[in-house]
Amino acid sequence: MKPSFEHIDALPDSSFTFREHVLKAFDAPYHFHPEIELTLILSSRGKRFVGTNVSDFEAGDLVLIGPNVPHYWKNENNTDPAHSIVIQFKEEFLGPEFFRKPEFLPIARLLQRAKSGLHFYGKTAERVTKEIQYLLKDNHFHRLLGLLDLLHTLADSQEVHTLDTSQFFAQLPKTDYERLNKIYAYMAEHFRQEIRLETISELINMTPQSFCRYYKKVTKKTFIDSLNEYRIRYASQLLLSDGDLTVSEVCFQSGFGNISHFNRQFRQTTGLAPLQYRQEFLRS
């Protein structure tokens, strides 16, 4: 999969975008853009990829994503329409000094935290869902006031989970960011398959040897380590979200070629064997 920089077309009579999407399945690739994005899922389910995080999503999913954080929603075993409402705006869309006013400092801190990706849940998600659906029917002026109110609600909430605590992408220089976005985009699409170093290195016009040195210098780990971590995160979600899957099925659906290697990598990453991991979750 080629990396995708998404250009967001502003509406002619609005300083930000507020769009409803109803699709058979989410079709946006693994992508990034300079706009901050608030996404509400009204129906559909699958896996959500934000930065280096992989999580399940379903109806009611509410996520705030900072600028240039790669993200992607992938449907799995879903028969419902992919129905979402997406709000996108640049941090300075009301002027470079707007969110530096004392009254808006909590929102400024929220937008800073959004560089890690933020998932909201509980009463906060329920309230914001109702407000977004109401604003969808309103005019542009009231949408703007409503957006500020939404951001204030989110800034004040404790019902939030940080998705990518490393802020890995947010801290990268532009050249490294663009190169690694290509790599992670390809990984997100092909991690269930064998990924050859020759293929991944060609994406950024390097030899396999140069790529390995470059990747370890920038990320402080090997590409194989990153790929295994990505697969383990995905396997962890499968173990918890589908109790009918056997460990063997989880292993192969996550891109591992044999059970022994999968068990060893899973225990090394989580401290537990796959079956123990599932049982601990059920007990808690």
Tell me the mean pLDDT in the region 233-246: 85
Across the beta sheet with 4-5, the strand order is: 4-5, 31-32, 71-75, 46-50, 53-57
197 and 99 fall within a common domain:
no
256 and 154 fall within a common domain:
no
37 and 90 fall within a common domain:
yes
Residue 207 belongs to domain with CATH number: 1.10.10.60
Residue 116 belongs to domain with CATH number: 2.60.120.280
Number of structural domains in the chain = 2
152 and 242 fall within a common domain:
no
In a domain, 174, yes or no: no
In a domain, 177, yes or no: no
In a domain, 184, yes or no: no
By CB neighbour count within 10 A (0-12 exposed, 13-18 middle, 19+ buried), where does 13 fall?
A: exposed
Output the CA torsion 133→150→74→185 (10° steps).
Answer: 150
14 and 110 fall within a common domain:
yes
pLDDT tens digits, residue range 136-167?
999 999 999 999 999 999 999 999 999 886 66
In a domain, 76, yes or no: yes
What does the pLDDT read at residue 209? 95
In a domain, 125, yes or no: yes
Who has greater pLDDT, 108 or 72?
108
- 222 Cβ neighbours under 8 A, 6+ residues apart: 212, 215, 216
206 and 149 fall within a common domain:
no
100 and 198 fall within a common domain:
no
Cα separation, 272 vs 86, whole angstroms: 38
Helix residue ranges, H only, 138-246: 140-155, 174-190, 197-202, 208-219, 223-241
86 and 155 fall within a common domain:
yes
147 and 207 fall within a common domain:
no
Give the type of residue at 1.
Answer: M
28 and 121 fall within a common domain:
yes
Backbone torsions φ then ψ of 123, nearest 5 degrees: -60, -35
Tell me the mean pLDDT in the region 160-177: 75
Query: Do the Cβ atoms of 203 and 186 come closer than 8 Å?
Result: yes
89 and 216 fall within a common domain:
no
213 and 138 fall within a common domain:
no
Q: Which domain holds residue 261?
A: 191-283
Cα separation, 2 vs 185, whole angstroms: 7
In a domain, 181, yes or no: no
Helix residue ranges, H only, the chain: 105-113, 122-135, 140-155, 174-190, 197-202, 208-219, 223-241, 247-253, 259-270, 274-283
In a domain, 84, yes or no: yes
In a domain, 22, yes or no: yes
Residue listed under structure tokens 């449907």: 75
* pTM across the whole model: 0.70
Report the chain's mean pLDDT, rounded to a whole number: 88
What does the pLDDT read at residue 82? 93
What does the pLDDT read at residue 146? 96
